[in-house]
Amino acid sequence: MIFIAGATGFVGGHLVDYLLAKGVGLKCLARSDKTADALARRGVRVLRGDVTEPGTLKDILDPDDIVIHLVGIIAEQGKATFSSIHVDGTANLVAEARRAGVRHFLYQSALGADSASFSGYLRTKAEAEEIVRSSGLGWTIFRPSLIIGPWDGFTKKLMDMIRLLPVLPIPGGGGARFQPVSIHDWLRCAGAVIENPSEYRATYDIGGPEHLTYREIVETLAEVMGRHKLRLSIPMGLMKFSASVLEAALPSPPVTVEQARLLELDNICDTDAVEKAFGFRPRRYQEALKEFVR
């Protein structure tokens, strides 16, 4: 049985579709009635609980389970902090997995996770990784770069910008490099772990076959959409100031100061990392976009 925490997010939703199509037995964690009902309608066994509330996780796992932990946030809001979700939530789920003696534990971290990072997101992802590694369980850790595909929030924001704005704003010149990977290729990697968990007890960087600057990502997306517009470089200082104003004024700003700072840093791994670990070459960015961008 596969247990998924984070089944209603972008990656989790695709993983549910992928496993249901293969006839794999699933049980998924749900925090609210709405998400529970949506999962139940798809034929998934639903377990009510919240990774930040350990009492709700009691006895939800069994020894034959493979746990896939996808719960994460990209910005803090109220009580949903990086520490409470990434660190405490992972510790709580690992504790239940240890009690049950599950078969395997797959944790979704992030490329660039580092306990010394200025970024609360990357720092707490690294802390969560260490909890998984020291659990005594069989484990796998994925560190993906940008995962793109139908419903992904990153591409949607860029598409909205390209459609609505008269020019394409490029923060700081857009020189930082990223490594977009298709959700379908991520699913192939996850599928390999599910089929042979004992063969994948390690930490894996997950990225596409090319390093692309932020500017190249935006320009390629605009090209696939058939929208050709002028580019306008936005000084990073202005970008950070605007983000700080938005953070102070809005409960859920479109961009945070931390996210703006991350746009200054490369977020890449070896271009053949997936091929070496999983035996196939992922799709190129433009090819992946054409599968779902209209």
Number of CB atoms found within 10 A of residue 183's CB: 23
What is the Cα–Cα distance from 205 to 266, expressed in whole angstroms? 14
What is the Cα–Cα distance from 214 to 190, expressed in whole angstroms? 27
Tokens of 15: 């993983």
User: What's the rounded mean pLDDT across residues 254-271?
Assistant: 89
pTM of the model: 0.94
Domains of the chain: 2-144 (3.40.50.720)
| In the predicted structure, residue 252 carries a pLDDT above the cut 90 | no
- Which distant-in-sequence residues (6+ apart) come within 8 Å of 164 by Cβ? none
What is the Cα–Cα distance from 115 to 12, expressed in whole angstroms? 25
Give the model confidence (pLDDT) of 95-138 as tens digits: 999 999 999 999 999 999 999 999 999 999 999 999 999 999 99
- Which distant-in-sequence residues (6+ apart) come within 8 Å of 113 by Cβ? 122, 123, 125, 126, 129, 143
Give the model confidence (pLDDT) of 130-186 as tens digits: 999 999 999 999 999 999 999 999 999 999 999 999 999 898 889 999 999 999 999
Q: What SS3 class is residue 44?
A: coil
Residue 219, strand partner residues = none
Q: Are 39 and 48 in contact (CB under 8 A)?
A: no
Give the model confidence (pLDDT) of 193-209 as tens digits: 999 999 999 999 999 99
Number of CB atoms found within 10 A of residue 199's CB: 10
What is the Cα–Cα distance from 124 to 84, expressed in whole angstroms? 9
**Residue 233, phi then psi, degrees to nearest 5:** -75, 130
Tokens of 148: 């793109």
The residue assigned the tokens 């896939």 is 68
State the first-to-last Cα distance of the chain, in angstroms, to the nearest integer: 36
Tokens of 71: 């719960």
Tokens of 33: 């009635």
> What pairing do the DSSP bridges indicate for beta strands 212-213 and 177-178?
antiparallel
Q: What angle do CA 254, 160, 82 make, to 5 degrees?
A: 30
pLDDT, the chain, mean: 94
> What pairing do the DSSP bridges indicate for beta strands 26-30 and 104-108?
unpaired
DSSP state of 280: S
Percent of residues in the chain assigned helix, strand, coil, to nearest 5: 45, 15, 40
pLDDT at site 54: 96
User: What's the rounded mean pLDDT across residues 58-83?
Assistant: 95
